[in-house]
A = this chain, B = another copy of it.
């Protein structure tokens, strides 16, 4: 049983967790396009590969899988997830299972407006969004929404190019300068995160960990505390089943006036997953079970509330 982790970057903990599960049973291998990706050096074997947007990138990865008898493959960065989902069959054909949702579901995650439409169409609360500015202006006039609002790229990643605007003039200026923008309600609530594993045999969510975010730094959760709320857990279970996610995903949620709003989904291990792991939510083990043909039993909610996670810097030295 060998696992390949693509674009491992600084995600040493993920590599370490897989290694802990596979000790004596298999190897954890990792790739990155930079030899200064510290997680490479926690893997049993590592490969420096071309940049993902290079021609032939996927062939390089397929070769690595074939030559190293890779049973399962996963990526830790957003731009690669669609690529992995798109080439799912190519990997399955050589006996490698990509741990990823289906292509359409992955694409929906990276189109904030599509996600909003999905939420609304299926009866979930989403953060009110517009791609048509005239519809937005009408709603402002009707008192449905008010300034300030966010203007952001429909397909933006992290917090890049997000503007908080307070007037029609600013919106006109931004829309005249950039394409593919959307207007989103400014939601000032408490932030939550969920790590969910959807069994790849039963297609049922079998692990679900929720945490309240306490401190953010450079777009990442720096400190968080585990929470349990039946209402939130039920909402997430319904949502992931309806959307058809598979494998490991990370969900960002806002709570405003007692209501939960699903904000974003990353169909991969989230940056805060170590919190879930240290609370006993062992997703690497569940992935390995699935690859071995074993269906996981439902372990949703089996963790303690009130457990705090705090990040700090560890270093790796390369001589």
Contacts and interface: CB of A to CB of B under 8 A. Distances in A.
Interface of A: 10-13, 36-39, 214-215, 217-218, 222-223, 271, 274-275, 278-279, 304, 306-319
26 contacts: A10-B310, A10-B311, A12-B313, A13-B314, A36-B223, A36-B308, A38-B310, A38-B311, A217-B218, A218-B218, A271-B313, A274-B313, A275-B317, A307-B318, A308-B317, A308-B318, A309-B315, A310-B316, A311-B313, A311-B314, A312-B314, A312-B315, A312-B316, A313-B313, A313-B314, A314-B314
Most B-side CB within 10 Å, residue of A215, A309, A310, A317: A310
A311 B12 CA distance: 10
A274 B223 CA distance: 22
A304 B316 contact: no
Copies of this chain in the oligomer: 2
B218 A315 contact: no
Contact of A13 (B215, B217, B315, B317): B315
A249 to B, nearest CB: 20
Contacts of A312: 10-13, 38-39, 313-316
Contacts of A319: 304, 306-308
Contacts of A278: 315, 317
A10 B274 contact: no
Nearest to A315: B274
Contacts of A316: 309-312
Contacts of A307: 317-319
A11 B275 CA distance: 19
A38 B310 CA distance: 6
A70 to B, nearest CB: 23
Given A304-B319, A318-B307, A313 B10 contact: yes
Contacts of A218: 217-218
